[in-house]
């Protein structure tokens, strides 16, 4: 009987640990831009022209020559990645909740899931959003 209690205790502990590890975090209010921007689930990006890290949890992506998108990551990047190489885990279709930003910093490679994608109306709105997010603190 004591063995079964120990086995059951270990099993419960493992289930709790796994459930905590797979539960997605919630974004702070700073990134809740649903009332101001058009939230989309997917980008068709035949060509990524440029990207800029706005803060430690968001990136503005320029794709298909003149389309701008705000990518909000599920978790903060450990550091500002200006000058580092990033990539996207998908080549053409970028889907929120599935695809990831890949940060290559020799000798480390880190992956950050894209939690939200917002379509921006152009370069001016991209600049406004950058200023807005950089001013706000979590």
Q: What is the pLDDT of residues 114-129, one digit of tens each?
A: 999 999 999 999 999 9
User: Which has the higher per-residue pLDDT, 11 or 37?
Assistant: 37
Give pLDDT, residue 83.
60
Q: Which of 22-31, 71-80, 128-137 has the lowest mean pLDDT?
A: 22-31
Each domain of the chain, given as residue ranges in start order, spans 27-135
- What phi and psi, each to the nearest 5 degrees, are found at residue 125? -65, -35
What gap in Å lies between CA 82 and CA 29, rounded to an integer?
A: 25
Q: How far is CA 62 from the centre of its chain?
A: 16
Instruction: Indicate the helix (H) or strand (E) that contains 3.
Output: helix 2-22
**Are 57 and 73 contacting, i.e. CB atoms less than 8 angstroms apart?**
yes
Is the Cβ–Cβ distance between 42 and 99 less than 8 Å?
no
80 pLDDT higher than 70: no
User: 132: Cβ–Cβ under 8 A, 6 or more apart, which residues?
Assistant: none
pTM: 0.74
15 or 135, higher pLDDT: 135
Nearest 10 degrees: Cα torsion 74, 79, 83, 88: -20
Per-residue pLDDT tens digits for 102-112: 887 667 788 89
């Amino acid at each position: 009987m004591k063995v079964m209690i120990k086995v059951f205790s270990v099993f419960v502990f493992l289930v709790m640990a796994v459930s905590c590890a797979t539960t997605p975090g919630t974004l702070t209010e700073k990134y809740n831009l649903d009332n101001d921007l058009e939230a989309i689930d997917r980008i068709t990006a035949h060509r990524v022209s440029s990207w800029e890290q706005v803060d430690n949890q968001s990136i503005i992506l320029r794709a298909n020559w003149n389309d701008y998108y705000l990518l909000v990551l599920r978790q903060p990047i450990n550091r500002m990645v200006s000058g580092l190489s990033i990539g996207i885990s998908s080549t053409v279709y970028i889907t929120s909740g599935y695809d990831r930003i890949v940060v290559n910093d020799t000798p480390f490679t880190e992956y950050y899931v894209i939690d939200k994608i917002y379509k921006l109306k152009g370069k001016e709105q991209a600049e406004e959003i950058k200023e807005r997010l950089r001013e706000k603190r979590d």
